């Protein structure tokens, strides 16, 4: 039986710019990544390496050597619309300031009746992100 999401993989032609966005803008922590035979980074939320970043070309070559199918680049996010992250309401204003500081476009949305403020934005690869800030969560 499955119990939780482990990670998601972002394929990119610029692993460092993608790492920088998630590390510097969304405050993920860069951490240990074993040598996997292709270029990339692992970024952590707490103890979990929740985001894996892979270089399109070296990941594709590596996967073909192993006989593993590989996603091909497509406009937008294909059938995946967005990835969401949660945080406490106290993090909302600091995130707005951080996004403005980095000059990023974003779209706020409030559902205050359920104690939720949201921010929608795209990562450097066009992947839509949903940042949820809940009044009743730490």
Number of domains, the chain:
2
pLDDT tens profile 86-123 = 999 999 999 999 999 999 999 999 998 999 999 999 99
Burial of residue 18, with CB atoms counted within 10 A of its CB: 0-12 exposed, 13-18 middle, 19 or more buried: buried
**Is residue 71 in a domain?**
no
pLDDT given at position 5: 82
pLDDT given at position 2: 63
| pTM listed for this prediction | 0.89
CATH (domain of 128): 3.10.180.10
pLDDT tens profile 45-95 = 999 999 999 999 999 999 999 999 988 877 777 778 789 999 999 999 999
C-beta neighbour count of 68 within 10 angstroms: 10
Range of the structural domain that residue 23 is part of = 8-66
């Amino acid at each position: 039986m499955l119990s939780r999401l482990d990670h998601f993989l972002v394929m990119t032609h610029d692993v460092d710019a993608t790492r920088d966005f998630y590390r510097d803008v969304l405050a993920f922590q860069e951490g240990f990544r074993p040598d996997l035979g292709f270029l990339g980074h692992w970024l952590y939320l707490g103890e979990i390496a929740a985001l894996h970043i892979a270089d399109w070309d070296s990941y594709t070559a590596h996967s073909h050597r192993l006989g593993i199918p590989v996603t091909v680049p497509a406009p937008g996010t294909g059938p995946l619309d967005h990835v969401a992250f949660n945080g406490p309401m106290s993090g909302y204003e600091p995130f707005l300031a951080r996004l403005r500081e980095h000059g990023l476009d974003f779209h706020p949305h409030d559902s205050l009746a359920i104690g939720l403020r949201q921010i929608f934005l795209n990562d450097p690869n066009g992947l839509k992100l949903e940042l949820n800030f809940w009044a009743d969560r730490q």
